[in-house]
Each structure stands twice: as structure tokens, then as C-alpha cells.
Amino acid sequence: MKNTRQFHRDRRSALALAMRGHTEGGLAIVPTAPEVARNRDTLYPFRPDSYFHYLSGFPEPEAAVVVIADGDGERHLLFCRDKDAERETWDGFRYGPDAAREIFGFDEAYAYPELDAKLRELAVDRPALYTPLGLFEAWDHRIVQLLNAVRAQVRTGVAAPDAVVDVRGILDDMRLVKDAHEIELMRRANAISSAAHRRAMARTRPGWREYQVEAELVHEFLRAGALAVAYPSIVASGPNACVLHYRENDREMSDGELLLIDAGCEYQGYAADITRTFPVGGRFTGPQKEIYELVLAAQHACLDAVKPGVDFHDYHKVADRVLAQGYLDLGLVTGTLDEVLETGTFRRFSLHRAGHWLGMDVHDAGLYQVKGVPQKLVPGMVLTVEPGTYIRPADDVPETWWSIGVRIEDDVLVTAGGHENLTAATPKSVADVEAACTR
């Protein structure tokens, strides 16, 4: 396998190629995320912007990637913080431009304070400027200042870029299909997250509060080297399982309830996203088991539908049909299957689609359809498969079903031969879940 530096360089070269095809070249500038204050004298833990990280792998704040594409070829530039012995004593190691250029595979590297002056030189007579638009307000202002600075030189015989293109359109298409390095990182993120879910199943007790289970998840993430969550963990017991984006995680759990956990780590910039639902006391009740097995049947049917060449929307339609038929069989909705699907009455209990793209972001970059035409699945795409059922108390719903919320979610890689379930190690069948909860 190529080294990490070469993977990032290949992505920058692919960007340069796309720029030459779109506007006969130009200048691309992609900044990292700004640091954000948490309180008066503390910053939130820094995370690089996903687009910047995709092109560079560089982990520090105050940085930007510049790619130049023209008839003479391409140049890759990095702007980053300079070495500073005093700041490194307080805040830790900095690469500095010289080391960063060599380690991360750039042609040139400069101190970040030189960015504006250097860009005023590099933007001259370029046909187009590619940069993220509307991502960071301060960056948008900086780009306007750059264009105006170049335009002010018009009397010297130079021109500013005629077009300003949101570079995310190109990068979203690139990010949609993962390369070998990305797939390796995602496998690791999912292995760690699967272990965390197994730990949660094994250790959860009636009488615990939801945050105690969350602590078990975080323990496993950190123990295995995943230093961040991919998103705030959902640890939702009893009626909270029917709140899709529940966040409080502070309720005391009781024997006989279900616990829905939607949690995944971020490993070296790549997300896992797993949901499992299991009984707090270790055994499903009859009604819980019926709903669980319905959602599981829908999930298996969805997985069977994930393969190259099919529309992205296809497995969502499969989930709808299985769940709607199940609600009819249980008496939760009435009518024929076609009527229930056409009117959407089943969506009272099935509140979301069956999945989304996954990668550096938990809801990852990439269009689901282009000009009204659904994306076709191709090898290298990664998506989630996560049908769910949520039954809130209501006068027209039998009490036996109240407060049952079940979601089952796996992370799936599309392969040449079909798909690979990256989270298959997470218990899912009724027997396996109950065995994992046995103490």
C-alpha cells in the first residue's frame, strides 16, 4: 500500500486534473478550520476541516493548502504555523514549514502569516479561483479581499480570476468513493466502535444511569486510540429511545426496558456510526422482540439490496416495504400495503430514511442524486444501513407497544462483488444480543 503522504498527494493531483478540465486550470485554496474558544481561556479540542484534512493529512490549526494547475503542470503548497520554541513549551510540538513540506509531501511550504501576500502573487492571471464558499465567514471575507487586491493591479497589466468556484463540488465527488487508505482507517474505526458496543452490552445494569453506559463507550474508544467521538453519543433508554437525536443521557434505567445506543468513534479523521438496541435486563419481552425482529428483517433486506449498479434510493424503498408490512401485520396501521406506502401512514412509526453516506463526516460529503437522477452505488462507497421503528404512547396505539424504540445500524462498504459489513462484529440477532448481555 502507498504511504499516507502519497495518498494525500494523489488527491491533490486529482483536484488539479479536475480544475484543468473545468476551467483550464486555476488556483485552489482550502483552509483548515479555525480554533474555537470554549470559554474565557480554553479552546475546544481542535479538529481539522474535513476537506483540508482530505487533501493534506496535516493536523495543525492556522493552515491552508494551495494547489496550482496550469499548462506547465501543478504545484502543491502548504501554509502552516512557523516553529516557535516558546509556544511549543506551552502548547506542544509544531511541524513548521520545512518539516511539513517533507513529511506531508508538498512542493513548497511557507509560514502562515505569508499567506495573503503570497496569494496576491499566485492569483494573478489565473482563469479561476477554487475555494470553499460559505464555509467560514472570515474566510469568505479574506477571499474577497484577495480578489480586490489583485483587481487593484489592473493598470499594471494583470487580471484577477474571472471565476470563483466552490471547490467542494469537486471534492465531494472525490470523497464519495474511498481509496484504500480511507477504507483501512474506516475498518479500524468500526472495529473500535464494535468493541465499545459489545462492552456496553456486557456491562449495562438496571439502576445505572445512561451516562454510565456512555462512559463505557468512551473508555473503549480512548483505550483503543480513538481520541474523539464521531458525534455525541445517543444512549437512550425506555421512552428516550423514541427520541431520534436524544442527547441528555442522564435517565436511570430499569429492568425490562430497551436501551438504544447510537455511537461511534472517530479514528484519524474517519467516522464510525453504529446503532444497537438491547434489553437492559438481558432478555427481550414479547412485544420488544416482535418489533426488534421486524426492524432486523428490514435491515437484512436492506443489506441484500446494497451492491454495485443499484440506485442509492433502492435500499430505502426496501426498508419502507418491510416495515410497512410489519406494521400492518401487528395492527399498527390499516389498509393494503400499497395504500400504506402511498399515503405514508407507516411513517408515523418509521421517521427517517434507511441510511446515509459515511466517511470523514458522519453524514459524509456527496450528492444522493444528480439533476434528479439517483446516484448509482459503486465500489468504494461507504454508507449506513439503519432502519428503525419508534412507537410513542398514543390513544390509538395499544399500550403493549408504547415506548418501544428500535434502530439497528451497520456501516457498509460497497465492493465489486456486493458489499462488506464493516460492523458485522457487533451482536445483532436476538440470540447474540441476549448472549452479549449475559453476565
In the 8-state DSSP scheme, what is residue 309?
Answer: T
Does residue 183 sit in helix, strand or coil? helix
Active site residue 245: yes
Which one is catalytic: 245, 395, 396, 439?
245
Q: How far apart are CA 193 and CA 196, in angstroms?
A: 5
SS3 content of the chain, % helix, strand, coil (to 5): 40, 20, 35
Active site residue 407: yes
Which one is catalytic: 41, 121, 137, 399?
41
Active site residue 420: no
Sign of CA dihedral 333, 338, 341, 342: negative
Q: How far apart are CA 143 and CA 119, in angstroms?
A: 10
Nearest to 411, CA basis, from 182, 103, 114:
182
Which one is catalytic: 76, 94, 407, 419?
407
Which one is catalytic: 320, 409, 410, 411?
409
Which one is catalytic: 216, 262, 266, 411?
262
Q: Which residues contact 70 (CB under 8 A, 6 or more apart)?
A: 20, 25, 26, 126
Residues paired with residue 110 on neighbouring β-strands, in sequence order: 79
Alpha carbon 258 to its chain centroid, in Å, reads 26
Q: How far apart are CA 56 and CA 64, in angstroms?
A: 9
Burial level of 124, CB count in 10 A (0-12/13-18/19+)? middle
Q: How far apart are CA 401 and CA 393, in angstroms?
A: 8
Angle at 93 between CA 95 and CA 224, to 5 degrees: 105
Active site residue 182: no
Give the E-state strand segments of 178-334 in sequence order: 228-229, 234-237, 258-263, 265-267, 270-271, 274-279
Active site residue 390: yes
Active site residue 396: no
Inter-residue contact 159 to 353 (CB < 8 Å):
no
Which one is catalytic: 199, 209, 348, 352?
352
Active site residue 41: yes
Inter-residue contact 204 to 253 (CB < 8 Å):
yes
Which one is catalytic: 356, 361, 364, 419?
356
Which one is catalytic: 151, 342, 363, 432?
363
Which one is catalytic: 266, 386, 410, 411?
386
Inter-residue contact 55 to 30 (CB < 8 Å):
yes
Q: How far apart are CA 210 and CA 215, in angstroms?
A: 9
Burial level of 41, CB count in 10 A (0-12/13-18/19+)? exposed
Cell numbers for 180: 484504500
Which one is catalytic: 390, 410, 411, 419?
390
Report, as residue numbers or ranges, the catalytic residues.
41, 245, 262, 273, 352, 356, 363, 386, 390, 407, 409
